[in-house]
């Protein structure tokens, strides 16, 4: 289960660290910034076209990273719930956005959830979006309260999605590519790189014969003469549900996954913990970016029976025993995490 919201995009240059957990919303034509820093490493100001981003740098040796161009790093901004804004290879990719209203699956009397931190979002605060990426067909990924107004403003946005969402997306967007597990699609960026997005098998949200929902691997290619050079690769699946036989053929330097389980009686909504460790091991990850997609202000009878199992601390302990060299990154909502691409 999940929700989302907003961004940390702003126009003023900030060159000093900001105290953790103090909130002072700043408004400009580019949006809202919570005044936060993370525990990853240092803060720096990174400029991309039209906006500035306050970035938290993560590297394998924990050293500060600075002076990168827009394509020198992956910038991953967590928007709460299952939602992300990624800047990779010079392209802005908006993932499973819930940016307008609450998450209620059309049954607010049973479940209703709102974001905790990013409370002042407007669609006009988004940067130019090069691709909208949808993993699943349910409301916590394919959120029509967001996608309806988004499509009215940006009907020509490139969309890559699970085929399970076809009936929801076809009426809204003009440029949709549907891919299932094993299929891929490419985005050509303004700076000459190509981004390959490949679908992997996620959870089955219906009868056993139904097509599984999607996870994705994302790779950026630079072409030097005629030889493609791969930068960092990224894997994302928001329920930590995967097919090991499929995943073991893939590789990802960055794994974005929940690590805390969310459970209903006799049913796992979102996996994590030891399953997230196995996922990182299968993909030979260097970084695990830990989502908190259950960390929402929720109410209703369904919300009252959802239980969490494990913590980020217990996940780190499990990971350190199996993969001591893998770095765990804990994103703060609205603050981009920057991971160098080389």
Q: Which CATH superfamily is domain 9-340 in?
A: Ribonuclease Z/Hydroxyacylglutathione hydrolase-like (3.60.15.10)
The per-residue pLDDT of the chain, averaged, comes to 79
User: Domain residues of the chain, as ranges?
Assistant: 9-340
| 7-22 confidence digits (pLDDT tens) | 333 323 323 333 333 2
Dihedral angle computed from the Cα positions of residues 78, 298, 295 and 95, in that order, rounded to the nearest 10 degrees: -30
pLDDT band at 156 (very low <50, low <70, confident <90, very high): very high
Cβ proximity of 326 and 286 under 8 Å: yes
pLDDT of 194 reads 87
Q: pTM of the predicted model, to two decimals?
A: 0.79
Short-list 211, 276, 287, 204, CA closest to 247? 276
pLDDT of 169 reads 97
Give the helix/strand (H/E) hosting 245. helix 244-247
Q: How many whole angstroms separate alpha carbon 295 and alpha carbon 80?
A: 8
The first and second tokens of residue 69, run together, are 């161009």
pLDDT of 72 reads 67
Q: How many CB atoms lie within 10 A of CB 245?
A: 9
Q: Which of the residue ranges 8-17, 50-59, 130-139 has the most confident prediction, judged by mean pLDDT? A: 130-139
pLDDT band at 320 (very low <50, low <70, confident <90, very high): very high
Dihedral pair phi/psi, residue 264, rounded to 5°: -100, 165
pLDDT at 70 over 90: no
Q: How many whole angstroms separate alpha carbon 149 and alpha carbon 155?
A: 10
Cβ proximity of 65 and 342 under 8 Å: no
Cβ proximity of 133 and 216 under 8 Å: yes
pLDDT of 91 reads 92
pLDDT of 258 reads 97
pLDDT of 147 reads 97
Per DSSP, the residues of 267-302 read: EEEE--THHHHHHHHHHT-SEEEEE-TT-SEEESHH
Q: Which residues pair with 262 in a beta bridge?
A: 270, 308
pLDDT at 59 over 70: no
pLDDT of 58 reads 55
Dihedral pair phi/psi, residue 282, rounded to 5°: -60, -40
| 232-289 confidence digits (pLDDT tens) | 899 999 999 999 988 998 999 999 999 999 999 988 999 999 999 999 999 999 999 9
pLDDT of 125 reads 85
| 161-206 confidence digits (pLDDT tens) | 999 999 999 999 999 999 999 999 999 887 777 899 999 998 887 6
For residues 48-66, average pLDDT: 37
- Select the more confidently predicted residue: 188 or 44: 188
Q: How many whole angstroms separate alpha carbon 107 and alpha carbon 138?
A: 13
pLDDT at 227 over 80: no
Strands 43-48 and 51-57: antiparallel
């Amino acid at each position: 289960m999940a929700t989302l919201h907003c961004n940390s995009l702003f126009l003023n240059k900030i060159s000093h660290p900001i105290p953790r957990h103090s909130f002072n919303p700043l408004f400009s034509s580019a949006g809202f910034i919570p005044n936060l820093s993370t525990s990853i490493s240092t803060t720096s100001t990174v400029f991309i076209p039209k906006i500035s981003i306050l970035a938290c740098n993560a590297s394998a040796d924990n050293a500060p990273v600075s002076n990168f161009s827009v394509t020198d790093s992956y910038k991953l901004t967590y928007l709460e719930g299952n939602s992300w804004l990624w800047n990779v290879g010079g392209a802005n990719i908006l993932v499973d956005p819930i940016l307008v209203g609450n998450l209620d699956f059309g049954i607010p009397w049973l479940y209703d959830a709102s974001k905790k931190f990013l409370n002042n979002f407007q669609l006009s605060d988004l940067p130019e979006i090069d691709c909208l990426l949808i993993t699943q067909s349910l409301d916590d990924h394919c959120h029509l309260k967001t996608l309806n107004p988004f499509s009215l403003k940006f009907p020509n946005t490139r969309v890559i999605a699970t085929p399970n969402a076809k009936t929801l997306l076809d009426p809204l967007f003009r440029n949709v590519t549907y891919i299932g597990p094993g299929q891929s699609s490419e985005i050509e960026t303004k700076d000459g790189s190509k981004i390959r997005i490949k679908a992997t098998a996620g959870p089955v949200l219906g009868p056993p014969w139904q097509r599984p929902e999607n996870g994705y691997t994302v790779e950026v290619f630079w072409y030097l003469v005629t030889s493609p050079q791969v930068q960092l690769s990224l894997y994302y699946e928001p329920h930590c549900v995967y097919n090991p036989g499929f995943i073991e053929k893939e590789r990802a330097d960055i794994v974005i996954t929940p690590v805390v389980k969310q459970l209903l009686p006799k049913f796992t909504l979102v996996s994590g913990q030891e399953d997230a460790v196995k996922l990182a091991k299968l993909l030979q990850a260097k970084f695990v970016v830990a989502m908190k997609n259950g960390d929402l202000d929720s109410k209703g009878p369904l919300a009252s029976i959802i239980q969490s199992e494990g913590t980020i601390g217990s996940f780190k302990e499990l990971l350190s025993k199996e993969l001591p060299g893998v770095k765990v990154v804990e994103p703060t909502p609205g603050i981009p995490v920057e991971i160098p691409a080389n």
